[in-house]
C-alpha cells in the first residue's frame, strides 16, 4: 500500500491518492487535498458537505449519492457543482478521506 505525505503526516493512500484508512484523516489533511484538487479555501459549505459524507458513510457503510446528499443532507446540488467543480462526489469524498465512489452497474 503506497504512503504519501500530506500536510506533514504520512498516510496510506491508493493509486489515486484516496486515503485508505479514514482514521488518519484530519482537517489539515482535508485542506491540503482540497488544494491539490484546485479548491483553494474550504468554506462553510465545503465543511457541511464533508461532515455529511463522513457521517453518512459511518452510518450506512457506503457513500451517499448526490441525490441522497440533497434529500437527506439538504445539500443543494447546484452549489455542490459550484463548489466542487468537475465530479463533485469524487472530489468531496477524496477531501473527506473516504473511498472513491464506484460507478454503478
Partner 1 sequence: MKKIVILGAGTAGTMMANHLARKINHREWSITIVDEHRSHYYQPGFLLLPFGFYSEKDVVRNKADFIPGRVEFLMEKVELIDPRNNRIQLLNGKKLDYHILIVATGAKIVPDEIEGLEDSWHRDIFDFYTIEGAKKLREKLANWEGGKMVVHLAEMPIKCPVAPLEFTFLSDWFLKKKGLRDQVDLTYVTPLSGAFTKQICSDVLGHLLVEKNINLVTDFSIERVDSQRKQMVSYDEKKVDYDLLVTVPTNMGDPLIKRSGMGDDLNFIPTDKHTLQSKQHENIFVLGDAADVPTSKAGSVAHFQAEVLTGNIMNFMKGKAFQHSSDGHANCFIESGDGKAFLIDFNYDIEPVQGRFPFPILGPFSLLKETRINHLGKLAFRWMYWNLLLRGRPMPGITTHMTKAGKKLSSLNKEYTHA
Residues that bind partner 1 (CB under 8 A): 65-68, 71-72, 77-78, 80-82, 85-87, 102-105
Looking at beta carbons only, is 28 or 82 nearer to partner 1? 82
Contact between 46 and 53 under an 8 Å Cβ cutoff? The reply is no
The CA-atom distances, in angstroms, between 39 and each of 33, 35, 84, 95 are 9, 5, 8, 10
Of the pair 32, 45, the CB lying nearest partner 1 is at 45
Q: Give least dist CB 51 to partner 1, A.
A: 19
Q: Provide, rounded to whole angstroms, the least separation between the CB of residue 85 and partner 1.
A: 6
Eight-state DSSP code of residue 101:
P
Is 5 or 86 the residue whose CB approaches partner 1 more closely? Answer: 86
Q: Least distance from C-beta 90 to partner 1, angstroms?
A: 9
Active site residue 16: no
Among residues 40, 41, 104, 105, the one annotated as catalytic is: 104
For 6, the 3-state DSSP assignment is strand
In sequence order, the 6+-apart residues with CB closer than 8 A to the CB of 46 are: 34, 39, 83, 84, 92, 95
Tell me the catalytic residues.
104
Amino acid at each position: 500500500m503506497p504512503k504519501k505525505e500530506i500536510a506533514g503526516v504520512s498516510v496510506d493512500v491508493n493509486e489515486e491518492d484516496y486515503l485508505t484508512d479514514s482514521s488518519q484523516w484530519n482537517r489539515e489533511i482535508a485542506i491540503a487535498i482540497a488544494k491539490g484538487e484546485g479548491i483553494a479555501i474550504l468554506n462553510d459549505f465545503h465543511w457541511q458537505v464533508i461532515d455529511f459524507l463522513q457521517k453518512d458513510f459511518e452510518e450506512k457503510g457506503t457513500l451517499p449519492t448526490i441525490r441522497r446528499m440533497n434529500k437527506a443532507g439538504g445539500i443543494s446540488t447546484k452549489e455542490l457543482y459550484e463548489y466542487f467543480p468537475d465530479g463533485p462526489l469524487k472530489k468531496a469524498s477524496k477531501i473527506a478521506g473516504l473511498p472513491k465512489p464506484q460507478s454503478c452497474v
